Structure 1
């Protein structure tokens, strides 16, 4: 690849294909694969990622909100799209664009039945979410009778799947809790089928669930972070390929004297004669202020350069005292060698946060 001449996020579509195929290899042939492309496909570009995955015959997509699904439909995505956290104000748009809602509460169920009836819908597909321990969204097992009663009184909707979400599928210290969740979900599914006479698809596993709980793959699995190259363990990370590389350049180099300060609020003081480089990327681009004060770093000519002082809106300054470099040289914030999770851990956060924070003003470049 040519060296970066500006701040860019390079997206390697061949790495995406690799990750998809690797995760698919963990499944039985009949198990469906749902690709999670919410949050601008974890900061990559939801439209381009979805287009590529649709060519690979992914079975389903998932987004968080209706407007994310609309953007995919506008771009020509025809595969089914599950909206994980729809709001009732968007239900008409959801129906107009053939999106499928997660129904997670009595209020949402009542509102969606009301609007589907008003629009003379029949058997509109919905997905019922059950809370098995995450305590974020979802019905409880004792809601089943009420759900079934409402379903019996309408033909406007039809349950396509039941699903839940594992709390700590990556954590081997939480095996008992995860297994209890799986058993609880099996009980919910059996009770629902018995009382409703409906046998919907079941899905529960996220990326770490795909890897660690094959017995819970059920009819479909959902993968987000794994598609983008992270497996929530060192072993699995080594089998996946990060698809995104965030790069920039050195705009200017300064030599500063001992006791001179750098940046806003004089947050860094030179300990001796030092060299600093200014990089055109800042907190408006997704490099949070938490990475300042030498908590974060970039890589220049294979050497780590700590971020010094406070992160500015459009710039960071890094210490290059012991690095052989010049203005115009490429800067790696993260790539497939210097990974986003390593940078994130340095600031006590996670790869999800840094990836999804990359501003859409950062140019995306797609590598076939």
Structure 2
């Protein structure tokens, strides 16, 4: 047992990661680039180790959410191109240049400020233009009423000195749900590209497909795809398993800290939300919401011990959780318990918590060591 496996830890199976990378890459037409999305600490899997492996395996680009995430990768020696998908204020243009990161730009004012900073530094900043075709977060508004205006502003952006407009992209809001709306967004994006082409503005890299669109709509792949959750072995929505064989990369584990025999009528955990209906044997697990194990898992969420399900009893605490092992013979302190994994799918936990598996994976806290398996 390593020190990292004394309490609670996340096993990151790099073999599964490579399987997913290869399986996803095989979906692409020749020449289509692959972006490994490693934002949010690679969806909880560890940004630096994952990025290093993706670079080793030939990923064309890496994508992060912010400048700090790009700096972390560069400081770790990652040399692959990096795209920052989120906002970076123009005052940090020097850092963008220093860390050699491409920046998403979704409005002309920001583009002008970045241009001025790049010119002042005597450098050229790579940008990817962000088009808002229906997500309503960031980007040049590209609905039918604003398409001409967007094309004009993007053309002006691409003409600014000190900027290299390498790419243009959009993001689908419902590619794992409504095909009609996704195709409406895609049509808007293609119409924008046509209008820009008519103005003499073209791009080396056009991209719009994250995991859901990549798996559901090959027509949206264009020059580059941006798989995130699929890279880590999870489907964006139920019913997509037929699209590509994926393997979950993370298994979240803990160890039984203590085993308690308690009589019927005993109240368990904060708020006395559980009262034992029978004489019971409870295992105390050293994991809680301080580790990212949701308090919403209280009273019912199963974990796997010795290959059998043990439901959470009472409220999940900050550092400890109790589970009922009355029907699992032989449980002793030191036994492994699987919180997320093949025996306890993270999707089941997401359903219970009323959220998505993305959130559960991203919320595994920094105090949980990641153990990398080759």
Give the match for residue 348 of structure 1.
Answer: 354
Structure-2 separation of matches of 1:268 and 1:33? 49
Match of 2:111 among 95, 101, 109: 109
Equivalent residue of 1:254, what SS?
Answer: strand
Structure 1 residues 351 and 126, CA, compared in 2 at 3 Å: closer, same or farther?
Answer: same
Match of 2:120 among 118, 121, 141: 118
Contact 2:211/2:230 (<8 A) preserved: yes
Give the match for residue 216 of structure 1.
Answer: 220
Give the match for residue 228 of structure 1.
Answer: 232
- The answer to whether the aligner puts 1:146 opposite 2:164 as a matched pair is no
- TM-score of the pair, normalised by structure 1: 0.94
The structural deviation recorded for 1:270 is: 1.2
Structure-1 separation of matches of 2:340 and 2:351? 12
The structural deviation recorded for 1:161 is: 0.7
The structural deviation recorded for 1:237 is: 8.3
Matches within 5 A, 1:278-297: 278-294=284-300, 296-297=301-302
Structure-2 separation of matches of 1:350 and 1:237? 19
The structural deviation recorded for 1:181 is: 1.0
The structural deviation recorded for 1:148 is: 1.9
Structure 1 residues 175 and 269, CA, compared in 2 at 3 Å: closer, same or farther?
Answer: same
The structural deviation recorded for 1:113 is: 1.8
Match of 1:318 among 317, 323, 327: 323
Structure 1 residues 236 and 11, CA, compared in 2 at 3 Å: closer, same or farther?
Answer: farther
Matches within 5 A, 1:249-260: 249-260=255-266
Contact 1:244/1:336 (<8 A) preserved: no
Contact 2:39/2:47 (<8 A) preserved: yes
Equivalent residue of 2:277, what SS?
Answer: coil
**Runs of 5+ consecutive residues of structure 2 not aligned to the other structure:** 142-146
**Runs of 5+ consecutive residues of structure 1 not aligned to the other structure:** none
Root mean square deviation, CA, Å? 1.9
Structure-2 separation of matches of 1:292 and 1:194? 58
Match of 1:96 among 95, 98, 114: 98
The structural deviation recorded for 1:107 is: 3.6
The structural deviation recorded for 1:120 is: 1.9
The structural deviation recorded for 1:343 is: 2.0
Number of residue pairs the alignment of both structures matches: 363
Structure-1 separation of matches of 2:243 and 2:202? 39
